[in-house]
Structure 1
Amino acid sequence: MTTGDPGAGAELPPLVAAQHRAMPFTRLTDCGMDPADARRLLADTGAGLSWQDAAEILADTQLERAHLAETSGHTVTARQAHRFAAAALMFAQMAFQTDTVGKRELYARHTAATAALAPEVERVEIPYRDGVLGGWLCLPAGPPRATVIVWGGLSGWGAAYLPVADAYTARGLACLLAEGPGQGESRLWHGLYVDEHVTDGFARFVDLVEADPRLGGNIGVQGISFGGLFAAHLAAADPRVGAVVVNGAPAVPTVPEFRTAREQMAAVVGTDDPARVTEVMDALRFDPDKHRITCPLLLLHGGRDPLARYEDQEPFLRAADPDTSLLRIWPDGEHTLYNHAAERDALTGDWFTDHLTTNS
């Protein structure tokens, strides 16, 4: 993957090179970073500044910009700066694979920056087990025609997908950006992790949509990266799901070979016991002979995705009705199609509109 920064051709230390591969320029901008900040982050970390420090400095600059704009009455500029700061802080916390104090502090700052976008972005909280599931609700200008619930995977969650919500609200759809079990504040502050019953946690967001009188119409779900596995399971298990998008997910999850990836998955499950992590992953295998998706399915795949091959995603298609399922492949697409973000979001926004509303 190309990073887009001027120093991309230089040889980098192994940790920095891994961070640049996991968080290339296309991913940074896809999840809402200012393009200038994204280039600065890659350049500064390539020059030796730690990832978390470089990203936090950029966030601090955007927060100062937001403050100055607010005091001058420039609310549109202030909102833009808060969004750029929230995105920078989302990526800052990704420097930590495990749930350290530093990761929690950075994610708390990300949440505060996102909360400053109210009332355009509304914080929601759902009691679940002994904790709270969090999320962000984005509403269109008029009454919602339907609602789409969106969640991420192992490292990017919730407000990381504000640009997706923009595409949906522009089409008259409400969008709920979920932080499910193993994700965001639900995990970092409330100890809710991925287990064999993770689908029950994500179903609570469907409950919330049904209970909110502002949110009429049908409900769609979209899972990005590893979260696509959870979306497929929920669509197979819950008849309230009217349409589902799976983007870059493995149908058969396995414990990664590389240490940092193993640490990340262990954090999602909430244990250092590799046997327990394997047990959970085995329980989450999506078997098309056992799990049938009866609602319309849109499967997205990037031909250059190093994390989810087509063969890894194909079982989701076999679980769906061929008359109501659609496969879209970008031959040069990166993981979750970072490098085709605008076209991807237009496609999914239109597809959800066609399948969840009576008038497209």
Structure 2
Amino acid sequence: MTTGDRGADAALPPLVAAQHRAMPFTRLTDCGMDPADARRLLADTAAGLPWQDAAAILADTQLVRARAAEENGHSVTARQARRFASAALMFAQMALHTDTAEKRALYARHTSATAALAPEVERVRIPYRDGVLGGWLCRPAGPPRATVIVWGGLSGWGAAYLPVADAYTARGLACLLAEGPGQGESRLRHGLYVDEHVIDGFARFVDLVEADPRLGGATGIHGISFGGLFAAHLAAADPRVGAVVVNGAPATPTVPEFRTAREQMAAVVGTDDPGRVAEVMDSLRFDPDKHRIRCPLLLLHGGRDPLARYEDQEPFHRAADPDTATLRIWPDGEHTLYNHAAARDALTGDWFTDHLAGRHTPNR
């Protein structure tokens, strides 16, 4: 969610206005939608077409475009169209806050569109508990200098962050786009949810990086939105984490006031019991007096973020060593800095390069 044009919102039905606030043009393009598709999605839904239908239609059009390009030998165009389709399907499923059959089907279509990007995007599967954690590995052209694991929060995961992976691989870093417990196929297909031990699940992605001989160097983690809370906890608990970025996360998670946000959080925990949801959220509270981040930290904040105020994120900064903690604030920044995507990704890409593989890397 982010700020939007309140005057325009007032003319829309409440559900549509909420969708436009949660998925504005800046977020749609930040997560890889074709800008023309993003404008069309907002226009079509304002005109009354259900969000998930409008987004799926746009994805279908891009997939037709991809097949036509392939038939004519235009592989670059085909890959671009499949990426646009993957992003459109990611946003199609976001309209559904509970794990309905329709949401599962849309996410399965998103996964298929993303898998078609192989070999540039490699599907990852990690056995965990009674299910499988999923993700996508993107590698640079040469041997990676280090690896960054990226994950999202309550509604956007995995391949939603392919543009972030582009910024990292361009700098010689491998990037693992994770779908942890409560996220993506890990939840929708394999029934893995957020609980008091969710950090154990995210640590399995570090295990994978360490076990893959193609991924040398140090490991960083990058948590976006609610996922920044998981990243901070893992950085505090796991000495294998060489650097951490936290972007737009609450240090003290609570059950949201708004119905749609409550539904998203309940789906992440896998229960309709508000008491159980509150219990899990309380267990995830980040206390800087108990949880110390000993690796370098980059904390990102947007001054116009309605979901994570600076006060909500400040405990992460307080938990880190002042000599290795960096705070970057965009006064006009939306949630997770959708509206400063290029500058944000350049900053985090350079920062990880410096701290994992460059001039700030400690001697080992």
Aligned-partner Cα distance in 2 for 1:308–1:241: 24
Deviations 1:162-189 (A, max 9, x none): 0000000000000000000000000000
2:240 matches 1:246: no
Q: Is there any run of 5+ residues in structure 1 with no aligned partner, and where? A: none
Cα offset, 1:158, TM superposition: 0.0
Tell me the C-alpha RMSD between the 2 structures: 1.2
Secondary structure, in 3 states, of the residue corresponding to 2:221?
strand
2:83 matches 1:83: yes
Aligned-partner Cα distance in 1 for 2:200–2:234: 8
- Alignment partner, residue 145 of structure 1: 145
- Alignment partner, residue 261 of structure 1: 261
The answer to whether the 8 Å contact 2:236/2:292 transfers is yes
Q: Is there any run of 5+ residues in structure 2 with no aligned partner, and where? A: none
For 1:43, the aligned partner's letter is A
Aligned-partner Cα distance in 2 for 1:28–1:8: 18
Q: Percent identity?
A: 88
Aligned-partner Cα distance in 1 for 2:323–2:4: 39
Aligned-partner Cα distance in 2 for 1:277–1:233: 19
- Alignment partner, residue 163 of structure 1: 163
- Alignment partner, residue 15 of structure 2: 15
Secondary structure, in 3 states, of the residue corresponding to 1:148?
strand
Deviations 1:86-117 (A, max 9, x none): 00000000010000000000000000000010
Residue pairs, 1:3-42, within 5 angstroms: 8=8, 11-42=11-42
The answer to whether the 8 Å contact 2:225/2:249 transfers is yes
- Alignment partner, residue 212 of structure 1: 212
Q: TM-score, normalised by structure 2?
A: 0.97
Aligned-partner Cα distance in 1 for 2:10–2:350: 41
Aligned-partner Cα distance in 2 for 1:295–1:18: 38
Aligned-partner Cα distance in 1 for 2:40–2:201: 38
Aligned-partner Cα distance in 2 for 1:70–1:273: 48
Aligned-partner Cα distance in 2 for 1:50–1:25: 17
2:229 matches 1:221: no
2:317 matches 1:297: no
Aligned-partner Cα distance in 2 for 1:139–1:357: 15
Deviations 1:64-83 (A, max 9, x none): 00000011110000000000
Cα offset, 1:8, TM superposition: 4.1
Aligned-partner Cα distance in 1 for 2:313–2:137: 29
Count of residues in Structure 1 that have an aligned counterpart in Structure 2: 358
2:119 matches 1:119: yes
Deviations 1:194-216 (A, max 9, x none): 00000000000000000000000
Cα offset, 1:358, TM superposition: 3.5
The answer to whether the 8 Å contact 1:2/1:8 transfers is no
Aligned-partner Cα distance in 2 for 1:235–1:347: 20
The answer to whether the 8 Å contact 2:3/2:306 transfers is no
Cα offset, 1:311, TM superposition: 0.1
The answer to whether the 8 Å contact 1:303/1:330 transfers is yes
Secondary structure, in 3 states, of the residue corresponding to 1:301?
strand
- Alignment partner, residue 352 of structure 1: 352
Deviations 1:223-263 (A, max 9, x none): 00000000000000000000000000000000001111111
Cα offset, 1:312, TM superposition: 0.1
The answer to whether the 8 Å contact 2:242/2:356 transfers is yes
